[in-house]
Amino acid sequence: MKKLTKDEEKQLLYNVIVLDNKEMIVQQYWRLVYDTVRRAFNRLNVEICEQDIEDMTQEIFIRLFDDDCRRLKIFNPMYGCLSSWIVRISSNAVIDCLRKKKDPISLSGKNKTDYPDGDETNDSFETDSTSSLHVEDAIVLKEFKTYIKKQCPPHYLVVFDSMISGRSADETALLIKKSGNAVYIIRSRLITLLKNFVDES
């Protein structure tokens, strides 16, 4: 797959969204989506056949074209290249697929394999019994998310949303294209930041 320049990405999106030439993005990113799907299932230890990967790949392109290409329209080149955006959408699609099928693997719960070196440290926002933090406070969370957007790298917000939704470290690692250990480090930093944010509010 040839890596596109920013201008080429912009032209591609114009051709797909405005001129309705959808096959162009399929031709450009089919292999990327296919490989992303295969790696995602493998990383989550899910056995899958080639036909399932093909079907999932097709489903992802359908998602890209749904609602008048809504997902493509909200792509922001400030936060990375188009291929990275499509990888994120593809990884999310795999996770959604497994949740809908109620796959026996643990997608939201925590198990031994979720933690590096077997350290079952609780990564929720209420790990410290002395903390006065109330994660149920939607106003605080909304304000903190705004703070993250302004002060932290973009992938921090993805990790924070994953913590709120109960997404596992492995799933989050797939979304931000980093290691599971990196996710734990970011989670720890976010917990500290949030506690400080609440204390200063």
**pTM recorded for the entire structure:** 0.54
Amino acid 101: pLDDT:
65
pLDDT grade, residue 37 (50/70/90)? very high
CB contact at 8 A, 115 and 121: yes
Domains of the chain: 6-101 (1.10.1740), 112-200 (no CATH)
Is the pLDDT score of 179 beyond 50?
Answer: yes
What DSSP state is assigned to residue 4? Answer: P
Positive/negative CA dihedral, 9, 148, 123, 163:
negative
pLDDT at 48: 85
Q: Which of 53-62, 83-92, 127-136, 184-193 has the lowest mean pLDDT?
A: 127-136
